[in-house]
A = this chain, B = another copy of it.
């Protein structure tokens, strides 16, 4: 029985993590979780899973919940996230919270000896050097939850890192994969939100359409697998059936495939190094799929991918700027304040305006994150 803390329980990854826990009551138990503003869903989860500790976003939500659920302890805010992350009884932290707020709790959990199942991209994107150092120092496995990184992680099982020639991260191309750059001028939020393969949260769906998502994944892969950027490649594969691959130096490629279902990588992170049945997952029938397409990535078509890889290579605080600028720009797009292509422009401006600081500590990262958000706001 693995006892689990879950940050971001009401989000897309959070609820699918709960599905996995529910499917294996003898294997997994939720002991602590954080939720955002969706208190209705939080109530339902508390009833179903009986976590011992729950953190909400707003202090104001606690009083009523404490009355309704007298056997549950409640806490709140960013400190609440840390309390969930380091909750004494928990052995595994699933970090599925969105945004840079997920960083500090991850670090605290590593220092408390928790196994980390990481779905929060910002943790590695902005502070990969700090997180990986800590995970090595405390000998804590960092297990990927993203389908691409999980695919790579699965492909690496039983293999040695020294034999890796390159990582090949596949990209569906997102909502606008079949449109030319010139056709993106006037796309709507609704169009951008209809991802062809995956049902995900709004932010990540937009990141998928701009290809920033893939760029953040490249940076994550760099840290997770200790792989130089010139050994990480991105391949357009519109069916999202091959979730990613590893090429070894004997030219052999190991790939992980499946129907798009985030519960598979989530469960692999929780069951690792074993696998458990996931009977509710739709099995892939390749004869039914019939065709898999592959195409070279066009970095001019997807400028965000280029920005991300460049920011990753240069390092320092540039990935923090990239990420913060992207969060503000995507939010502005979702609110109808900027056009789709302006997301790229805002990120480019923020990156150009920034003087990178090398090897930043958490305080610097948080400051740069804040300053970037303020700066991009001034551009709206």
Q: Does A9 contact B (CB under 8 A)?
A: no
Task: Say whether A295 contacts B287, CB under 8 Å.
Answer: yes
Interface code A230-257, partner B: CB below 8 Å = 1, 0 otherwise? 0000011100001001011111111111
Closest residue of B by beta carbon distance from A287: B296
Cα separation A333 to B122 with both chains bound (whole Å): 64
Task: Say whether B275 contacts A160, CB under 8 Å.
Answer: yes
Cα separation A283 to B231 with both chains bound (whole Å): 14
Task: Say whether A277 contacts B291, CB under 8 Å.
Answer: no
Q: Does A10 contact B (CB under 8 A)?
A: no
Contact of A255 among B235, B254, B283, B295 (CB under 8 A): B254
Number of copies: 2
Task: Say whether A157 contacts B154, CB under 8 Å.
Answer: no
Cα separation A273 to B236 with both chains bound (whole Å): 32
Task: Say whether A284 contacts B159, CB under 8 Å.
Answer: no
Interface code A253-275, partner B: CB below 8 Å = 1, 0 otherwise? 11111110100100110010111
Please indicate the chain B residues that have their CB under 8 angstroms from the CB of A295 in the complex. 287, 290
Give, as a whole number of angstroms, the nearest-CB distance from A252 to chain B. 5
Interface size class of A (residues with CB under 8 A): 35 or more
Contact of A281 among B236, B251, B290 (CB under 8 A): B251
Cα separation A242 to B252 with both chains bound (whole Å): 10
Q: Does A44 contact B (CB under 8 A)?
A: no
Cα separation A239 to B293 with both chains bound (whole Å): 13
Q: Does A332 contact B (CB under 8 A)?
A: no
Knowing A159-B158, A163-B274 are in contact, say whether A258-B251 is a contact too (CB < 8 A). Answer: yes
Task: Say whether B250 contacts A253, CB under 8 Å.
Answer: no
Cα separation A253 to B265 with both chains bound (whole Å): 12
Cα separation A293 to B290 with both chains bound (whole Å): 6
**Could you jot down 14 A-B contacts, CB within 8 Å?**
A154-B254, A158-B158, A168-B286, A247-B284, A250-B264, A250-B276, A250-B278, A251-B261, A251-B282, A251-B283, A253-B256, A290-B293, A290-B295, A292-B292
Interface residues of A (CB under 8 A from B): 154-160, 163, 165, 168, 235-237, 242, 245, 247-259, 261, 264, 267-268, 271, 273-278, 281-284, 286-287, 289-296
Of all A-B residue pairs in the complex, the 7 with the closest CB atoms, nearest first, are A157-B158, A158-B158, A251-B281, A286-B294, A287-B296, A253-B257, A163-B275
